[in-house]
Structure 1
Amino acid sequence: MEVKGGFVLVSADDPGMHSSQNEQDNRNYAKFAKIPVLDPSDSAEAKDFVGKAFDISETFHAPVILRTTTRTSHGKGLVQLGDPMERKVAGFEKNFEKLVVLPMNARKLRVDAEARLRKLEAFAEETDLNFEEEGEGRIAFITTGIAHVHLKEILPSAPILKIGMPYPLPMKKIQNFVSRFDRVIVVEELDPFVQEQILAAGIHVEGKNLIPGIWELNPEIIRDVLEKEGIIPEKKRHKTVKADAIPRPPVFCPGCPHLGIFHALKKAKAQIVTGDIGCYTLAAIPPFNSMDTCVCMGASIGNAIGIEKATGSGIGIAAVIGDSTFTHSGLTGLVDAIMNNSHITIVISDNSITAMTGGQPNPRTGWDLHRQPNAKMDFEIVARAMGAEHVYPVDPTNMAQTFDVVKRELEADHLSVIISQAPCVLYPKKVERDKFFTFLNNCTACSMCSRINCQAITRSGELTEKGRNKWHISEDLCTGCGLCIQMCKFDAIRPISRKGE
């Protein structure tokens, strides 16, 4: 299909998998779809390339991928602002041959796509997105994306062909550049996307035989390669000394509503818990160790159904998914579970916000990106409308009720949907509830309160007669969820209002 207005798809790769499940190079999608991809190397280019991408899209009537990576996205730099541009919206125009992709039209569009690609190849030779930086020496480099910045830091005077549009490539410009040097090395992050295209064109370059093809690049990696190849002299570097610091693994926020539901799942001895993408994925690591799979958004329900079909029983199998992920790609999983007579337990951990990525709204939140109120999806109504019969909302801060429902449904031989509903403690604003403190005179150091794994609860310096550390609640961290007081049988945890009694 062609596009009439500008269509720019921003795709952010995560080399090194800082917060992703996989390390992939999305430049490959451009070649697959036969559309251009732009690869900015710094903040200024990231901004400027947006405008260029729209221009290319509108000129060639094609979508354009703007591909960034972790370091480009997290970097900062000076940018030059221009005047806002106003574009008139032409409105929708009916075009049967281009917009209704039946086979009779698709065959012609297939030919048009190849013709458009030839035009884009000619454009690649002329555009200032691809340019040469003069330098010294007989060894030159072809760079793209953040790798350009890393190389310039190590070898600022090198001759470089900077590629801002890695597909389609300016092969004539590359041939001319390569022919003038004894050796040319392609420096790019992740896949040999540029290198393979150049080699396929019969132009000899080096690249992934020297530069690692996995993990995030940095200046030191490039320096090591250049030193080993004798391109730059070895430089004595200060030895890196590991700091003897206390590790800080990611943890749930104090009072997080996910604490209550996972405590219930663990106490009820769920046999298998398939997980999903969100803050609640932290339940997979210590101290909870209560999640057995995590693949991609929406996979929890499908994984649970598959395990049930393979093992012959859904009893004891729970699929945990957050509200944002459920609306994104969990609804179809629920349909599948109903359609295929699954007997698993689906737990929707609903804090009514997309907390993991900064508190963005979702269909359950009740307002849109512009903070305008909208209809709030009701998961109970939705689940029942789909055909689920056993649907139970619970408050995860009510531990007894939550445990009873979770245990009963895990043991039941039918499909269940448990909706664990409580607000995120941080978004859209920090919750304001009465906090709790530890009355140490009554604390027996039984450790029951610590089993909810709340970060506001730590060991104190005060000991019992048997020499065990009593437990302390940080009033600065406490958000007043009340889980801990439900665990204590000795009146050692009290509301702040009872201080001084």
Structure 2
Amino acid sequence: MAEKKIMLGNEAIARGAYEAGVKVSAAYPGTPSTEISENLVQYKEIYCEWSPNEKVAMEVAIGASISGVRAMASMKHVGVNVAADPLYTVSYIGATGGLVLVAADDPGLYSSQNEQDTRCIGRAAQVPVIEPSDSQEAKDFMKFAFEMSEKYDTPVILRTTTRLSHSQGTVTLEDRVEPEDKVYERNIQKNVMMPGMAKLRHIAVEERTKAMIEEGCQFPINRVEMNDTKIGVISSGIPYQYVKEALPNASVLKLGMVNPLPRKLIEDFAKKVDTLYIVEELDPVIETQVKSWGISCIGKEIFTVQGEYSANMLRKAILGEDLDLTKPAQVPARPPILCPGCPHRSVYSVLKKLKIHAAGDIGCYTLGAVAPLNVVDTTICMGASISSLHGMEKAKGKEYIKDWVAVIGDSTFMHTGVNSLINMVYNKGTGTVMILDNSTTGMTGHQDHAATGKTLQGEDTNAVSIPELCRAIGVKNVTEINAFDLEGLEKLIKEEVAKDEVSVIITKTPCIFKVPASKVRCVANPDKCKKCKACLKPGCPAITMSREGVISIDDTMCNGCGLCQQLCKFEAIEKVGE
């Protein structure tokens, strides 16, 4: 009997890649995709890496595919934007060894800056998109994706979402297949995208798409479930699960391939039902195309284009059932906060004291935008803090940014921040860049990167020196400092922002989860406390104040970073356990 195992969607995707005979995987960590690579590492037959960014990861996978092996790249939806350049072009080149991009979308914005729909990118790039609905399909669809890639000479996007990536289901395990490596044959007409070659390859892409539209009607990943024909629903991915729960008697066309759409299959299904609904999260990708064929259907007229769906939402929208009274009690909101002992809190405390604005970036340090720190003024995308500060300086002049800095993490700096710093130096900019180096990719679960000295497999490797890299770019003023040296940091920031040239301050202090647990704790002395609340300003969750205004420190949360102790002018906080 085949072994069965309960797996996260991401774990099942990794298992599917293993069973499909994948040999190369490249990725950049990003919620909700991160666990794919973290699970792939267990399969020693697959080379796995953290690439510095998604563009590089995509190009690594493309190179492996061209050489003749099955390869994949994994990233979150906004990472697909970074990888778009090679993605759109490899659509023309195609795939020698199977090539799959796993793109993890985030309906509901659990950990992202937008609700981008990767299906739209698939359409624009003319790359087929398939979408599983549970963990078993996540594994099976990965295997199908590689077969599809090689049959139609195309990269394939497997789209997942946060709900699928992080939910569990039973998966039947199978053995790994070992497809023979394809023989590499030099073919500049196919692999060198100069205009003359690209024009011919575009024709091949159009023919490929036509074939998939027709043959997709027989793909096993698309299926019709005929029941009561009064209501028919076309759905895919996780929304299919909501449809089955809310409308168990409805007829359903479950699409596994959401781009290109199997037109005849959809037309035949539509003729068999009285009222047709399109249930899809985010953009009306399926709905728009179906309506363009003259098929009457109901979609975003009654469904939202924002956030996640639910069975109750579908019952209310389609059946008119208002189940508000059955909702569980509202749980108090728990906004994200910096961890106790986080070095970013110390940096932001100094910036706030100096009334300095920060052009922010993507990472844990984005939390510096909210109370009580309120330092970060902008957050756009990975690497944008440095570029946007440069834009401000060029728009308003050197004096305007004397009370501004750019803040960026070490992983994000290696991702795309380094390009922005190059631009700043090259175009004779001024301004201070603060690289908050906590020696990890903190927000996505503490993954390594090119400056940590460890690979995805945990092996020792060369660690890129961020200070030396900055100097090599041409930055003359590069200083490293401990984030918890409040006095030294304040002095340094004042000096650097006053300069009429580019300067880099690197706060070199590891994430609290990257250092051994400390026995040191900070303890409050109520007798010395003057109730000035200085220790509360950074917002450390380990510190609370009673109704009487007396400070206490939770020793189960405190890790002895000493930030509160430095802020207290009355020696009412001391360290113990040193």
Do these two structures clear the TM 0.5 threshold for a shared fold by scoring above it? yes
State the 1:439 CA deviation: 2.8
User: After superposition, what is the alpha-carbon deviation per residue over 1:388-407, rounded to whole angstroms, capped at 9, x for unaligned?
Assistant: 01111111111111111012
| Residue of structure 2 aligned with 1:279, choices 349, 353, 364 | 364
Paired residue secondary structure (1:371): coil
Rounded Cα–Cα distance in structure 1 between residues aligned with 2:182 and 2:141: 24
Rounded Cα–Cα distance in structure 2 between residues aligned with 1:497 and 1:354: 30
User: After superposition, what is the alpha-carbon deviation per residue over 1:5-48, rounded to whole angstroms, capped at 9, x for unaligned?
Assistant: 11111111111212111112110111111121001112221121
Opposite residue 319 of structure 2, the aligned amino acid is E
State the 1:247 CA deviation: 4.1
| Residue of structure 2 aligned with 1:76, choices 160, 168, 171 | 168
The answer to whether the 8 Å contact 2:231/2:251 transfers is yes
State the 1:375 CA deviation: 0.9
1:341/1:431 CA distance change after superposition, 3 Å: farther
Moved more, 153-162 or 179-188: 179-188
Moved more, 284-293 or 128-137: 128-137
| Residue of structure 2 aligned with 1:309, choices 394, 401, 406 | 394
Partner of 1:169: 261
Structure with the bigger percentage of helix: 2
Moved more, 330-339 or 42-51: 42-51
Moved more, 251-260 or 473-482: 473-482
TM-score normalised by structure 1 residue count: 0.93
Rounded Cα–Cα distance in structure 2 between residues aligned with 1:177 and 1:206: 15
Paired residue secondary structure (2:377): coil
Rounded Cα–Cα distance in structure 2 between residues aligned with 1:80 and 1:219: 27
Whether 2:357 is the aligned partner of 1:259: answer no
TM-score normalised by structure 2 residue count: 0.81
Opposite residue 389 of structure 2, the aligned amino acid is A
Partner of 2:302: 210
| Residue of structure 2 aligned with 1:223, choices 305, 315, 319 | 315
Opposite residue 248 of structure 1, the aligned amino acid is R
Whether 2:565 is the aligned partner of 1:480: answer no
The answer to whether the 8 Å contact 1:253/1:454 transfers is yes
Structure 1 residues 269-418: aligned runs within 5 Å: 269-270=355-356, 272-313=357-398, 314-418=401-505
| Residue of structure 1 aligned with 2:156, choices 58, 64, 84 | 64
Partner of 1:186: 278
Partner of 1:457: 543
Rounded Cα–Cα distance in structure 2 between residues aligned with 1:136 and 1:456: 57
Opposite residue 374 of structure 1, the aligned amino acid is T
Partner of 2:116: 24
Mark the runs of 5 or more structure 2 residues left unpaired by the alignment.
1-92
Paired residue secondary structure (1:137): strand
Compute the RMSD of aligned alpha carbons. Answer: 1.8
Opposite residue 565 of structure 2, the aligned amino acid is I
Paired residue secondary structure (2:172): coil
Partner of 2:178: 86
Rounded Cα–Cα distance in structure 1 between residues aligned with 2:577 and 2:236: 61
Partner of 2:513: 426
1:418/1:431 CA distance change after superposition, 3 Å: farther
User: After superposition, what is the alpha-carbon deviation per residue over 1:396-425, rounded to whole angstroms, capped at 9, x for unaligned?
Assistant: 111111111012112222211110110100
Moved more, 389-398 or 80-89: 80-89
1:239/1:209 CA distance change after superposition, 3 Å: same
1:444/1:236 CA distance change after superposition, 3 Å: closer
Partner of 1:13: 105
Rounded Cα–Cα distance in structure 2 between residues aligned with 1:180 and 1:446: 73
State the 1:258 CA deviation: 0.5
State the 1:138 CA deviation: 2.4
Rounded Cα–Cα distance in structure 2 between residues aligned with 1:235 and 1:259: 45
Moved more, 60-69 or 205-214: 205-214
Opposite residue 345 of structure 2, the aligned amino acid is L
1:317/1:489 CA distance change after superposition, 3 Å: closer
State the 1:221 CA deviation: 1.2
Rounded Cα–Cα distance in structure 1 between residues aligned with 2:477 and 2:266: 64
Whether 2:248 is the aligned partner of 1:156: answer yes
Q: Which has the larger radius of gyration?
A: 1
1:330/1:237 CA distance change after superposition, 3 Å: closer
Rounded Cα–Cα distance in structure 1 between residues aligned with 2:179 and 2:328: 55
State the 1:489 CA deviation: 3.0
Moved more, 188-197 or 325-334: 188-197
Mark the runs of 5 or more structure 1 residues left unpaired by the alignment.
229-233, 462-467
Paired residue secondary structure (2:235): strand
State the 1:199 CA deviation: 2.0
User: After superposition, what is the alpha-carbon deviation per residue over 1:75-96, rounded to whole angstroms, capped at 9, x for unaligned?
Assistant: 2111111112223334643221
State the 1:433 CA deviation: 5.5
Partner of 2:532: 446
User: After superposition, what is the alpha-carbon deviation per residue over 1:327-360, rounded to whole angstroms, capped at 9, x for unaligned?
Assistant: 0010011011101111111000000101111111
Rounded Cα–Cα distance in structure 2 between residues aligned with 1:363 and 1:189: 36
User: After superposition, what is the alpha-carbon deviation per residue over 1:454-500, rounded to whole angstroms, capped at 9, x for unaligned?
Assistant: 22222257xxxxxx5222222211112122222223332222148xx
User: After superposition, what is the alpha-carbon deviation per residue over 1:150-173, rounded to whole angstroms, capped at 9, x for unaligned?
Assistant: 011011111111111011111111
Moved more, 381-390 or 434-443: 434-443
1:237/1:379 CA distance change after superposition, 3 Å: closer
State the 1:237 CA deviation: 5.9
The answer to whether the 8 Å contact 1:315/1:343 transfers is no
Paired residue secondary structure (1:190): coil
Partner of 1:139: 231
Structure 1 residues 99-118: aligned runs within 5 Å: 99-118=191-210
The answer to whether the 8 Å contact 2:96/2:182 transfers is no
The answer to whether the 8 Å contact 2:284/2:305 transfers is yes
Rounded Cα–Cα distance in structure 2 between residues aligned with 1:176 and 1:453: 60
1:300/1:34 CA distance change after superposition, 3 Å: same
Paired residue secondary structure (2:127): coil
State the 1:450 CA deviation: 2.2
